[in-house]
Structure 1
Amino acid sequence: MASKQSTFDIEQRDDGVAVVRMDVPGEAHNVLKAEFAGEFEALFERLRTDTAIKAVVFASGKPGSFLAGADIKLFDNVATSEEVVALAEQCQGAFHQIADLKVPVVAAIDGACLGGGLELALACDARIAADTPKTLLGLPEVMLGLLPAGGGTQRLPALIGIAAALDLMLTGRQLRASRAKKAGILDKVVAPEALIDAAVAHALELAAGKRAKAGLWAGGVAGLQARVTGLALEDNPLGRRVLFSQARKKLRAQTKGNYPAPERIVDAIETGADRGFEAGYAAEARFFGELVFTSESRALRHVYRATEDLKKATFAPAGTEPRCVNKVGVLGAGLMGAGIATVTIDKAGLPVRLKDKDDDGLAAGIGHLRAHYARRVKRRAMSRFDADIALNRVTGTTSYRGFEDCDLVVEAVFEDLDLKHRMLADVEAHGRKDTIFASNTSSIPITDIAAGAKRPENVIGLHYFSPVEKMPLLEIIATDQTAPEVIAASAAFGKAQGKTVIVVNDGPGFYTTRILAPFLNEATRILAEGVGVQAIDKALTRYGFPVGPMTLLDEVGIDIGTKVGPILEKAFGERMAVPAESARMIEAGWLGRKAGKGFYDYEGRKKGGKRPVNTDLYGLMGVSGDATMDATEIAERCTFLFLNEAAHCLGDGILSEPMHGDIGAIFGLGFPPFTGGPSRFADRLGVKEVVARLDAFAEQHGARFEPAPILRDMARARARRKQRFYP
């Protein structure tokens, strides 16, 4: 018989197993909500008191979604840490009830089992999962500046060991079913159609005492060996002290002290290990209450919400019907072109016609794709059969044969306007009248490219970031003439490639190139003042950037920056002027990693060692390289120019809203995520303070630091809400 509740449906089978299916009304995925407390109590009252129930299986009523964690909107309605602690204790209490049931409980996992979802599953006696790509397990709370608060910091270490649990919680990694079983989290992985039957059978075996909990044997012999090795370190106070000390040292090297959540995760696990589970649960709830109100967590939750909003955005007027994109052409089989082809085939599942000027270039591009799938097969992320099917979606050519039925063509050739005009003319001649022409330029205004078009409404910019397979952002650039249905189609295409998409208006450098240029230029100027290469990079990585500006310039290529520079300087004047020192490096042939030398010496690097600085450049610039400058001053001179140019882009109408700029800066350029992006960081610092610092820098270093007009206006505003980019 079945008893229907709003979230939980209980199917009581004749064999005595109660199958509880979770189905949150009005949500595409199951999420935990505070208002479930009453329903949970009613559910467990039934499970505790019904003597006919021999075992329980928790499953989902939503195919492909077990339980994706807590709804982060619940933090909008809390005002104090005490309220948040109470929410955590409420969640812990609910999962304690699962663990305390007198009958065995098995989690039947199909789809996302993340955060609170995994914590629910950990409270069960066993976990069985469907072998599907959608089945992912993890505790990703650290990505939101939080820690697991439903008992995860205590139950996961008890199940798989402290070291393995730390790795999962500190990285936020999500494991596919096979990896989760190897790690010891799952007891069994089965075909999706067999999931419920397998979970019921396992529960009945537990009830009959025929099967013990997996314990040390979870994950087979490899899992046992890993645990035995770990136990030698984890099961004695001295060993644990060494383990936690090493963990803190490693995470501080990675976070530079900018993220408090990882520290608190270690603290919570250590409390439980040293003082017992009850103390561990209490610490977990208390730390959760603290973290919710940190500026870092607020910023990271802002980033999460923004990316979720962007997933739903069409970037076109309501009712716009996007053009269909069923076949894609790519011009240029170099690293960018081959990367674009790869994500189109791999993520979007679309056929690609790849063109290059000669057979050698085409072979290199096809080789790039083959290497990508060879790596995936080697990692067992896919079968050789599926890899071959994917590779069959790409065909190559040195002519325009096969482009007549392409819906969208992306050019990824050199930054040369005449060359791009020729590509555009060729596509218009060989394609259909509605074929979309997308340029992957990083600096040339799309309006200038479209000026050579017969049908400028079909022309748009798709700015990818290298390496395309790894970088999450796609910056779409629309002109005044770009048709809305072309914008909508391009956005849908980018999302299908797995990208986070922003749409910006056209202009020199668009958004990302424009805001990055003054940041990198300033780093070079600081170098010319005598500060060492490594000191500059270290100052910016400590400030929160993933790599320093000197390293980034070497990766991009110093010559690329000087090609973009004149375009930006012509449009924006002195604040975009490229330092003369960059031209000297180009004359010396020091173009960066690709040339063997740039700011660093890649030819002199010993295997396994740190790359040495190219000390010859100090002589080239006439400086010693050992001048001292406060690390904060170095970081702020670069970063405040970043903030200022982002504000200029808002004031100039390149961005329609600050959120797009924040996501573009974080996902495309590595702006520190814990700040929430340039505009949110300005709000956090206070716009008046940002203007004051820019004015001080302008007085000391020149007019390039002159605050953007929008910042001046905001700083003068009387109403507080007008002094902020966000409400």
Structure 2
Amino acid sequence: MTTHPKTAQENRPEQETAFHLALGDDGIAVITVDVPGERMNVLKGEMVREANALLDTLDEQPALRGVIFTSGKADNFIAGADVHMLAACETAEAARELAHAGQRLFDRLEAFPKPVVAAIHGTCLGGGLELALACHGRVATDHPATRLGLPEVQLGLLPGSGGTQRLPDRVGLPLALDLMLTGRQLRARQARKRGLVDDLVAPPILLDAARKRIDELAEPRRHRPKRPLTTRLLENNPLGRRLVYRQSERTVQAKTHGNYPAPPRIIDAVRAGRERGRQAGLETERRHFGELAMTPEARALMALYFATTALKKDSGTDAGVEPRPVRRVGVLGAGLMGAGIAYVTSAKAGTPVRLKDIALEGLNNGMRHIDGEIRARHKRGALTDFEATRQRTRVTPTLDYRGFGALDVVIEAVFEDPELKHRMLADVEAHGPEHVIFASNTSSLPISEIATGAQRPERVIGMHYFSPVEKMPLLEVIATDRTDPEVIATTVALGRTQGKTVIVVRDGAGFYVNRILAPYLNEACRLLQEGVAIDHIDRTLVRFGFPVGPFALLDEVGLDVSEKVAPILHRAFGERMTPVDVGGRMLADGRKGRKSGKGFYRYDRKRGKGGRPVDEGVYRLLGLAPGRDMAPEAIIDRTVLPMINEAVRCRDEGIIRCERDGDIGAVFGIGFPPFRGGPFHYLRQQGAAGVTERLQALAAEHGPRFAPAPSLQG
């Protein structure tokens, strides 16, 4: 075998080259992508020059039979473009030229005279999938790490190197639009079923399969998978395509309310290519890419991406300690929260769980919940039969403390009763090993109070999950002044293996997320008391960018839960957290929200096109006559600005470690609009002086609860 390690760029040291070429005696060139200094392969600007130089070299090889692109990284093909490179663009023209350079390279790859095959193992996203689409064939491993997608929309962008043109050719117009508009990723089996890859193989024989695919492509007749007849009929006539575009536009508008500029431009780029040809599509794609890269939405989403990436490397403490291994976990309480925690620990972290409850019925319900989650993933094809069985066996139920002597962490998810939690802590210390960490899932009780009387208070910490645990991405780890830094690092590491985005906050009433949420919900209830309709308030804040409005959120969380938190916050923070007399009267009428079938909205009928209807009985119960017409801007200021103000107080008091954690906690914990970047990004975008002025005006009109945080007043 002949190797050409420096061919991509002769003047650069070998170790700095992203592409490594090995030309075999069989005439097949294997190009291994291994970007130096990066954990994953990401496409950088200079790699375009390297790749073109490499293709120049291959053009001069008369015995060349084909080319294979593979990766030198573990569980990663190419994760996409370097986001730092995109963020560094200062003009739309600079971003457009980046896209144009990628388009030209992949056009050249697609036109290469010999068969080119992408051998895919691990994540193949964004520019990585665009490269694979430009190849003549694609083989992938049937490994769980292998996922394919074009997630640029999640950064406020669109695929800029031909993806909007080639993906519809490969998988059909409806699926291509769905993947690009949502950023959804396909697992290997799904990708094979949809024709995105040609074959699936075990990782050890990936290159053998790629060589076989080159031989197949070298035959005069190249077999291309046919899409279903109905799909072809739909796409092969202008009326059918218009229906697809129109439905996509309606879906986008319903989901984004016009807040995200990227989805409509994705549709436009696809439409340009399908209706006016490839070159028109590529020109539209790169023009939109350049424009989108300069939008405030893309800048906010990229900032959020950088924040979450940095957070993944943060142990949660500055003490420089390493987390202890967590080999077994216990969960106390098999309700929805406990079962959810057990599920993410066993299924995502792959860690055995001992699930304890005091009643057999509770245990059975918890195990059924876990089994239901596994069944759903198995049905979607996300799990094999073997993987599903393996996940089920990781959770063992118990009515006593047998087996707790071998646990490293115990997470309690019992009722919000201080005496009960003290008893759970004492039991765990009595039955567990000395090193066991006791983590409370409380949403309202200070961790320092729970740790009162503990034999080892330094091993007590908070792990505040959000409901439903299986879906909500955030985990708040709450540390007291006595918590051992090693305990912090260990729980942060455990949370990440559970698939959570983890922030560490200091112990205090409401911690961070519930503390900033409370004034937002309180103010919505005050607006209701002033005669503003429930659905008008909710619609306004959904249009602002929240996934649901404050009253829909109260119904989802449960008014009983919010009523337990409210007095704790009131005691801690006084007048600005005074509860509004709405939740108590709702509970007295049996209205806990969705869980009881009665709340601010009706749950006795199916959702209509306009959403779930408001229960008009709420107005009678509260003695209100809704009808006050309030401008959306006024509603937003009344509800959102107190949340921003409280976030600033949390930063100033050291509840959060930095503004980064405050933005991430708000976006991932309560759905603060991602395209607005989080409370602190929004504050900077709006201008602190302007926000302070608006808060002062609200304080003059409505009282001191709107008084700006001291640091805002200078």
Residue aligned with 1:433, SS: coil
- Does 2:50 align with 1:49? no
CA distance in structure 2 between the partners assigned to 1:612 and 1:248 by the alignment: 25
Is 1:83 aligned to 2:94, yes or no? yes
CA distance in 1, matches of 2:168, 2:385: 35
Is the deviation greater in 170-179 or in 310-319? 310-319
The 5 A counterparts of 1:376-395 are 376-395=377-396
CA distance in 1: counterparts of 2:446 and 2:336, whole angstroms = 22
Structure 1 position 276 matched with structure 2 position 286: no
Which residue is 1:220 aligned to?
none
Partner of 1:447: 448
Query: What's the counterpart of residue 201 of structure 1?
Result: 212
Contact in 2 for aligned 1:559/1:586 (Cα 8 Å): yes
Q: Does 1:403 align with 2:404?
A: yes
- C-alpha spacing 1:366/1:237, structure 2 compared with 1 (3 Å): closer
Aligned equivalent of 2:624? 623
Q: 45, 62, 76: which is aligned to 1:65?
A: 76
1: CA distance between counterparts of 2:19 and 2:613?
61
1:132 aligned residue: 143
Alpha-carbon separation, structure 2, partners of 1:157 and 1:202:
22
Question: In 2, distance between residues paired with 1:696 and 1:627?
Answer: 21
Shift of 1:530: 1.3
Structure 2 portions without partners, runs of 5+: 7-16
Does 1:105 find its partner at 2:81?
A: no
Distance 1:647 1:317 in 2: 22
Equivalent in the alignment of 1:700: 701
CA offset digits 1:178-211 (Å, max 9, x no partner) = 11122221111122222111111111222232x4
Superposed, 1:245-260 pairs within 5 Å as 245-260=246-261
The residue number in structure 2 matching 1:724 is: none
Q: 1:214 aligns with which of 218, 224, 228?
A: 224
Q: How does 1:671-690 map to 2 (within 5 A)?
A: 671-690=672-691
Structure 1 residue 602, shift from structure 2 partner: 1.5
| TM superposition shift of 1:660 | 0.3
TM-score normalised to structure 1 length: 0.94
Q: Determine if contact 2:87/2:302 at 8 Å carries over to the other structure.
A: no
Note if contact 2:354-2:403 (Cα within 8 Å) is conserved in structure 1: yes
In the aligned structure 2, how far is the partner of 1:442 from the partner of 1:588?
24
Report 1:224-623 matches (<5 A): 224-225=227-228, 228-605=229-606, 610-623=611-624
Provide the C-alpha distance between the structure 2 equivalents of 1:605 and 1:38, rounded to a whole number of angstroms: 57
CA distance change for structure 1 residues 240 and 321 in 2, over 3 Å: closer, same or farther?
closer
| Aligned residues of 2:407 and 2:432 also touching (Cα < 8 A) | yes
AA partner of residue 16 (structure 1): G
CA–CA distance in 2 between the matches of 1:450 and 1:160?
56
Q: How far has the Cα of 1:63 moved from its partner? A: 3.5
Deviation of the 1:300 alpha carbon: 0.6
Task: For 1:130, give the aligned amino acid.
Answer: T
CA distance in 2, matches of 1:319, 1:181: 45
| Cα distance between partner residues in 2 of 1:646 and 1:571 | 16
Q: Deviations over 1:461-494 (max 9, x none)?
A: 0000111111111100000000011101111111
Q: Do the aligned partners of 1:136 and 1:176 also contact (CA within 8 Å) in 2?
A: yes
Amino acid in structure 2 at the alignment position of 1:27: E
Note the C-alpha offset of 1:607: 8.9
1:117 equivalent in alignment to 2:128? yes
Tell me whether 1:23 sits opposite 2:24 in the alignment. no
Equivalent position SS for 2:294: coil
- Kindly state the Cα deviation for residue 243 of structure 1 after the two structures are TM-superposed: 2.5
Determine the C-alpha separation between the residues in 1 that align with 2:96 and 2:239.
31
Name the SS for the 1:370 alignment partner: helix
Partner residue, 1:221: none
Q: Distance in 2 between matches of 1:467 and 1:32?
A: 36
Q: Secondary structure at the match of 1:504?
A: strand
| Mapped partners of 1:436, 1:18: distance in 2 | 53
Equivalent residue letter for 1:13: G
Q: Deviations over 1:382-428 (max 9, x none)?
A: 13332222222222222222212211111111111111111111111
After TM superposition, give the deviation of residue 620 of structure 1 in Å: 2.1
Q: Distance in 2 between matches of 1:246 and 1:350?
A: 43
Q: Any idea what SS the aligned residue of 1:580 has?
A: coil
- Moved >6 Å (runs of 4+): 606-609
Q: Structure 1 CA distance, aligned partners of 2:607 and 2:165? A: 43
* Kept after mapping to 2: 8 A contact 1:66/1:111: yes
Cα deviation for residue 235 of structure 1 reads: 2.7
2-side partners of 1:213 and 1:681: how far apart? Answer: 52
Distance 2:443 2:167 in 1: 45
Amino acid at match of 1:640: L
Report the aligned-residue RMSD: 1.6
SS in 2 for 1:357: coil
Q: CA deviation at 1:78?
A: 2.4
Per the TM alignment, residue 612 of structure 1 is displaced from its structure 2 partner at its CA by: 2.6
- Is the Cα–Cα contact under 8 Å of residues 531 and 626 in structure 2 kept in the other structure? yes
TM-superposed CA distance for 1:703, in Å, is 1.6
The 3 A distance-change label for structure 1 pair 197 and 141 is same
Q: Which one is further off, 288-297 or 268-277?
A: 268-277
Look up the equivalent residue of 2:646 and give its one-letter code: E
Q: In 1, distance between residues paired with 2:27 and 2:317?
A: 54
Separation in 2 of the partners of 1:466 and 1:454? 31
Q: Against the structure 1 CA distance between its residues 172 and 359, is the aligned structure 2 distance closer, same or farther, given a 3 Å change threshold?
A: same
Structure 1 residue runs of 5 or longer lacking an equivalent are: 218-223, 714-727
- Structure 2: distance between partners of 1:609 and 1:169: 26
1:37 maps onto 2:48 in alignment: yes
Number of residue pairs matched? 703
Amino acid at match of 1:21: T
In structure 2, C-alpha distance between the alignment counterparts of 1:149 and 1:39, rounded to whole Å: 19
Letter in 2 for 1:45: D
The question of whether the paired residues in 2 share the 8 Å contact of 1:415 and 1:441 is answered with yes
Compared CA separation, residues 172 and 344, structure 1 to 2 (3 A)? same
Cα deviation, residue 166, structure 1: 0.6
Secondary structure of the corresponding residue to residue 106 of structure 1: strand
What percentage of residue pairs aligned between the two structures are identical?
54
Q: Do the aligned residues in 2 keep the contact of 1:605 with 1:612 (CA within 8 Å)?
A: no
Question: Partner letter of residue 214 of structure 1?
Answer: R
SS of residue paired to 1:329: strand
Could you list the per-position Cα deviations for residues 160-187 of structure 1 after superposition, in whole angstroms to 9, with x for gaps in the alignment?
2222211110010110111112222111
The letter of the residue matching 2:251 is K
2:106 to 95, 113, 119: 95
Corresponding residue of 1:723: none
User: Residues of 1 paired with 2:437 and 2:169: CA distance?
Assistant: 55
Look up the equivalent residue of 2:105 and give its one-letter code.
A
Please, what TM-score do these two structures have when normalized by structure 2? 0.96
Quick one: distance in 2 between partners of 1:551 and 1:305? 31
- Secondary structure of the 1:361 match is helix
Equivalent pair of 2:346/2:391 in contact (CA under 8 Å):
yes
Quick one: distance in 2 between partners of 1:411 and 1:592? 24
In the TM superposition, residue 318 of structure 1 has moved relative to its aligned partner by 4.7
Q: Which position in structure 2 is the counterpart of 1:159?
A: 170
